Chain A
């Protein structure tokens, strides 16, 4: 028994250096909830921003389209300071545009990610380690939406919560969409729903869009601009109700991003305990090791 105890101690102390060396490759999944979304209808100017569902469909008589936007910073937003910056920019660059310009508040989803960092995660949560980014939505009744039935595009201008089929925002006569139903940025394209996914597949009630390349571009550039995305039917489609950002469930629109990297920055904060005779176990929940 004494020998066993001594051997265990020796093994324990021999394994301590492992705490400060590479743990091997890790995959970290980060979920970024969409904060702002709505749907616009071709036959109504009603404001749908506060509803707990989104609608997307298309018939000969009418069409509904979903508009949503990746969130910006989670940090405290100082309106007074940002307004001052806005006026500085306006005075440096007097407006000579055909529609109301926006203040260059750079939308940085990466800042959202920094809120969930631990010291080890920071080594992995780098843009170059992004292995997958999927925009996920869920129907309210778990009904299936056929693969390829929905398309997604970037929007090319800012829109307000009260947007509708005709207007992006209500603050100016120039707030009208150039193209009714939303102004699309055609320079970047995406696959239709549930096609070309970099990881996983669509389960019942799930609508997924592959956005890895775009998301990586967004988080690599501190001055990237993101106005939002438009989801619409590719053909005639029965009404599909989808959980909105106002849902009380966890099924609101979200980006599920996976980062795969080597946690070897020497600042590991994950506690690891090695028990003789039992598998190496990570006490942190919700993570996977390779």
Chain B
């Protein structure tokens, strides 16, 4: 894990250096939720609703959204990046990063690249050796249309999740595997007179899930759910304060969902209704 942190820090320093070299003066128009060349965002989440039952591997109180999450991101010429660390109770920090190529075409911005998600946990972590302690590699592509008072964007994200142990009983270990999950998002942000509003709808296709051991197998078929995100807040100079409400729709089997969906960060999908507060500093 020390080696991993060192790689991340080297990459961070290198990309920041490159971005400062290529920085342009003045504010850039928004790309997704990014205003200015760079941003530093602090956020925290609160799960409004709980599930009727916990998964067999862990109490659902450990599936709460990250107590706090720090994002550092920005655009430098053709390079766009995001580094996130979300601290999850019962696990530790979930590190994630987007590394993308960025292209400005007047009012249209294109970005495409990859994503990596990596969990960290101590041996005492409640979520260690569960389906939630897993990494992923992914692809992300985004189109943004920059209008006068609004941005409209569409994003596709695909994650390939790692297989993990699920539970060990009677000396037999059961594992869980997922096929890739897909996120297709449409959104818009509006800014006027220091006020900001946003709305997003995301179609999430959770891939096939298999639970397997020497003595047992079952499969959970791929499932479509929808996520609605509404938010509003203030934009004062280079500071933005936002509150967002997220709701998940079309979860038919809530029992199976807790094994099909293992997203705690950067996307949080472990509560039907969640409130997030964000403070963004653009620089």
Place the interface of chain B in its size category.
20 to 34
Whether the pair B170, A246 counts as a contact (CB closer than 8 A) is yes
Query: Nearest chain B CB to A34's CB is how many angstroms away?
Result: 10
If A71-B215, A171-B218, A245-B170 touch, does A87 touch B253 (CB 8 Å cutoff)? no
Closest to B177 in A: A83
Measured in the bound complex, the distance between the Cα atoms of B218 and A77 in whole Å is: 16
Does B219 interact with chain A (Cβ within 8 Å)?
Answer: yes
Query: Nearest chain A CB to B167's CB is how many angstroms away?
Result: 8
Query: Nearest chain B CB to A80's CB is how many angstroms away?
Result: 6
Query: Nearest chain B CB to A153's CB is how many angstroms away?
Result: 19
Q: Contact mask A72-90 → B, CB, 8 Å, 1/0?
A: 1100010110110011001
Measured in the bound complex, the distance between the Cα atoms of B250 and A83 in whole Å is: 27
When distances are taken between beta carbons in the complex, the residues of chain B under 8 Å from A91 are 208
When distances are taken between beta carbons in the complex, the residues of chain A under 8 Å from B208 are 87, 90-91
Measured in the bound complex, the distance between the Cα atoms of B218 and A80 in whole Å is: 15
Query: Nearest chain A CB to B177's CB is how many angstroms away?
Result: 4
Whether the pair B169, A173 counts as a contact (CB closer than 8 A) is no
Q: Contact mask B199-234 → A, CB, 8 Å, 1/0?
A: 000000000101111111111110000000000000
Whether the pair B216, A100 counts as a contact (CB closer than 8 A) is no
Measured in the bound complex, the distance between the Cα atoms of B177 and A290 in whole Å is: 52
Closest to A160 in B: B216
Whether the pair A103, B212 counts as a contact (CB closer than 8 A) is yes
If A171-B255, A172-B255 touch, does A158 touch B170 (CB 8 Å cutoff)? no
Whether the pair B210, A86 counts as a contact (CB closer than 8 A) is yes
| Residue from the list A72, A87, A102, A173 in contact with B218, Cβ < 8 A | A102
Measured in the bound complex, the distance between the Cα atoms of B216 and A35 in whole Å is: 12
Whether the pair A171, B220 counts as a contact (CB closer than 8 A) is yes
Whether the pair B214, A72 counts as a contact (CB closer than 8 A) is yes
Measured in the bound complex, the distance between the Cα atoms of B171 and A245 in whole Å is: 11
Q: Which of A73, A91, A161 has the most chain B CB within a 10 Å cutoff?
A: A161
Does B56 interact with chain A (Cβ within 8 Å)?
Answer: yes
Q: Contact mask B39-65 → A, CB, 8 Å, 1/0?
A: 000000000000000011000000000
Would you list which residues of chain A between 90 and 123 have a CB under 8 Å from chain B? 90-91, 94-95, 100-103, 105
Measured in the bound complex, the distance between the Cα atoms of B218 and A95 in whole Å is: 12
If A73-B214, A79-B212, A86-B177 touch, does A172 touch B170 (CB 8 Å cutoff)? no
Measured in the bound complex, the distance between the Cα atoms of B172 and A102 in whole Å is: 18
Whether the pair B212, A82 counts as a contact (CB closer than 8 A) is yes
Q: Would you call the interface of chain A mostly helix, strand, loop, or mixed?
A: loop
If A49-B169, A71-B215, A103-B210 touch, does A95 touch B221 (CB 8 Å cutoff)? yes
Whether the pair A171, B212 counts as a contact (CB closer than 8 A) is no
Q: Would you call the interface of chain B mostly helix, strand, loop, or mixed?
A: mixed
| Residue from the list A69, A83, A160, A172 in contact with B210, Cβ < 8 A | A83
Measured in the bound complex, the distance between the Cα atoms of B216 and A175 in whole Å is: 13
When distances are taken between beta carbons in the complex, the residues of chain B under 8 Å from A82 are 212
When distances are taken between beta carbons in the complex, the residues of chain B under 8 Å from A69 are 215
Does B256 interact with chain A (Cβ within 8 Å)?
Answer: yes
Residue tally, chain A, CB below 8 Å to B: 38
Closest to A244 in B: B170
Closest to A69 in B: B215
Whether the pair B214, A102 counts as a contact (CB closer than 8 A) is no
If A35-B172, A49-B169 touch, does A79 touch B163 (CB 8 Å cutoff)? yes
When distances are taken between beta carbons in the complex, the residues of chain B under 8 Å from A80 are 163, 177
Whether the pair B216, A90 counts as a contact (CB closer than 8 A) is no
Q: Contact mask A35-52 → B, CB, 8 Å, 1/0?
A: 110000000000001100
Closest to A73 in B: B214
Does A159 interact with chain B (Cβ within 8 Å)?
Answer: yes
Measured in the bound complex, the distance between the Cα atoms of B56 and A80 in whole Å is: 22
Does A169 interact with chain B (Cβ within 8 Å)?
Answer: yes
Binding site for A on B (CB under 8 A): 55-56, 163, 169-175, 177, 179, 208, 210-221, 253-256, 259
* A-B contact list, 23 entries, CB within 8 Å: A35-B171, A36-B215, A49-B169, A71-B214, A79-B163, A80-B163, A86-B212, A87-B208, A90-B219, A100-B218, A101-B218, A102-B218, A102-B219, A103-B210, A105-B217, A158-B216, A160-B174, A160-B216, A162-B169, A171-B256, A172-B255, A172-B259, A174-B256
Interface contacts beyond A79-B177, A161-B172, A175-B255: sample of 5 additional A-B pairs, CB < 8 Å, sorted by A: A87-B179, A102-B218, A171-B255, A173-B256, A174-B256
Interchain residue pairs A-B with the least CB separation, the first 9: A83-B177, A161-B169, A79-B175, A172-B256, A86-B210, A103-B217, A95-B221, A102-B217, A173-B253
